[in-house]
Amino acid sequence: MNNYSLEIHFDADSTARIGKLIRTVADACGNGYMLRHNIPFHLTLAYFKAEDTSAAVNIAEKIAAETTVDAVTFPAIGAFPTAALYLAPVFTEWLREMNETADSILARQVTLSPMYQPNNWAPHATIATQLSRTELELAFTELIREFTPFAAKAVSVAIVKCEPYGEIIAESMLAGKRQ
**C-alpha distances out from residue 13 to 10, 16, 152, 155, Å:** 8, 5, 8, 12
- Domains and their CATH numbers in the chain: 2-172 (3.90.1140.10)
Provide the pLDDT for residue 160: 86
Q: Of 86, 84, 68, 66, whose CA–CA distance to 76 is shortest?
A: 86
Give the closest residue to 147 by CA, choosing from 35, 5, 18: 18
31 DSSP β-pair partners: none
According to DSSP, residue 68 is labeled: B
* Model pLDDT, residue 174: 55
Rounded distance between C-alpha atoms, residue 88 and residue 74, angstroms: 6
At 13 the pLDDT is 96
Amino acid at 132: S
> Residue 140 has what pLDDT?
94
| pLDDT score recorded for residue 171 | 73
Q: What is the DSSP string of 103-169?
A: HHHHTTTSEE-GGGSTTT----EEEE-S--HHHHHHHHHHHHHH---EEEEEEEEEEEETTTTEEEE
In 3D space, the residue among 161, 159, 75, 56 whose CA is nearest the CA of residue 124 turns out to be 75
What is the per-residue pLDDT for 179?
32
pLDDT tens string, the chain, 179 residues long: the values are 788 888 999 999 999 999 999 999 999 999 999 999 999 999 999 888 877 777 667 777 777 777 777 899 999 999 998 789 999 999 999 999 989 988 888 877 788 888 988 999 999 999 999 999 999 999 999 999 999 999 999 998 888 888 877 788 777 765 443 33
